[in-house]
């Protein structure tokens, strides 16, 4: 009986994961087009093939759904692992110099932007008119600033940065360079290949931070 209960529990967990994923995928498409404000949760439920009550049970509200979608889009998965604890951060810390650290981060950044550009641009647009979207957009900005401050401290500790840089000024450069709108313009609008964007990021940030 214990084995059967474990099997049933694992089956229910997998069903719940699949339901959550289906809702997030439907929200990702609909919040981009026709947009967050124009999309009722009933439309998300229909797109996911679930009842509206299921959407409320899993996420609680439209704002919570948007917040979860942003988190998953940035992270690339729905695993409960904070970004500072992810493998790519450990890999950056293990590298010896500023440029090598920027190279590794640029690979991560290009992948994130490829995954998140449409959702994040839709969120930025929605934030201009919708208070719920604006709150999530500003939280995302704060999270990115915090992440870039941590990265700036990592780079400053190498001793390679120009002497006029502090953690704050280095974080300013990193925060500006990683903005999704740079990727949108250069790759999605101008047609740059991802490798060229990668080189642009490393060269631009290196020129701004290094002697």
- Given 60, 91, 108, which residue is the final one in a domain? 60
Nearest to 198 by CA among 185, 187, 210, 189: 187
Q: Is residue 72 part of a domain?
A: no
**Average pLDDT per consecutive 10 residues, the chain (211 residues; last block may be shorter):** 61 86 92 88 95 95 89 68 74 94 94 85 88 89 91 96 97 95 94 95 98 95
Peptide bond into 34 cis (omega under 30): yes
Q: What residues contact 127, with CB distance under 8 A and at least 6 apart? A: 133, 134, 136, 137, 138
- The reply to whether 34 and 85 lie within a common domain is no
The pair of structure tokens assigned to 34 is 């026709």
Whether the full predicted model's pTM is greater than 0.85, yes or no, is: no
- The reply to whether 109 and 164 lie within a common domain is yes
Q: Provide the domain limits for residue 173.
A: 81-209
Q: Is residue 73 part of a domain?
A: no
Residue 4 has a pLDDT of: 58
CB atoms closer than 10 angstroms to residue 129: 11
The pair of structure tokens assigned to 30 is 């609909």
- H runs (alpha helix) in the chain: 2-30, 41-48, 52-59, 62-75, 87-94, 98-127, 131-156, 167-177, 180-183, 194-209
- CA–CA gap between residue 133 and residue 128 (Å, rounded): 8
Residue 81 has a pLDDT of: 53
- The reply to whether 90 and 47 lie within a common domain is no
- CA–CA gap between residue 93 and residue 85 (Å, rounded): 11
Residue 10 has a pLDDT of: 72
- The reply to whether 46 and 148 lie within a common domain is no
Tell me the CATH number at 45: 1.10.10.60
- The reply to whether 50 and 131 lie within a common domain is no
Q: Residue written as tokens 């550009």?
A: 117
Q: Is residue 15 part of a domain?
A: yes
Residue 114 has a pLDDT of: 87
CB 173 within 8 A of CB 208: yes
- CA–CA gap between residue 124 and residue 129 (Å, rounded): 10
CB 30 within 8 A of CB 47: yes
Q: What residues contact 25, with CB distance under 8 A and at least 6 apart? A: 47, 48
Instruction: Give 82: exposed, middle or buried? Use CB within 10 Å, 0-12, 13-18, 19+.
Output: exposed
- The reply to whether 122 and 18 lie within a common domain is no
* Count: domains in the chain: 2
Q: Is residue 66 part of a domain?
A: no
């Amino acid at each position: 009986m214990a084995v059967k209960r474990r099997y049933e529990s694992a089956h229910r967990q997998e069903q719940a994961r699949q339901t959550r994923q289906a809702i997030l995928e439907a929200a990702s498409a609909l919040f981009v087009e026709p947009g967050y404000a124009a999309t009722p949760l009933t439309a998300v439920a229909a797109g996911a093939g679930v009842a509206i009550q299921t959407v409320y049970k899993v996420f609680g509200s439209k704002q919570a759904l948007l917040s979860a979608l942003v988190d998953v889009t940035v992270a690339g998965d729905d695993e409960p692992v904070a970004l500072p604890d992810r493998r790519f951060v450990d890999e950056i810390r293990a590298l010896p110099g500023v440029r090598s650290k920027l190279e590794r981060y640029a690979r991560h950044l290009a992948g994130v932007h490829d995954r998140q550009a449409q959702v994040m641009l839709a969120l930025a647009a929605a934030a201009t008119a919708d208070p719920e979207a604006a709150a999530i957009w500003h939280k995302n900005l704060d999270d990115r600033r915090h992440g870039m401050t941590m990265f700036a401290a990592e780079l400053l500790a190498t001793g390679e940065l120009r002497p006029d840089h502090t953690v704050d000024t280095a974080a300013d450069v990193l925060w500006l360079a990683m903005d999704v709108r740079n990727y949108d313009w250069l790759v999605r609008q101008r047609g740059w290949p991802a490798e060229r964007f990668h080189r642009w990021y490393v060269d631009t940030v290196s020129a701004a931070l290094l002697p």
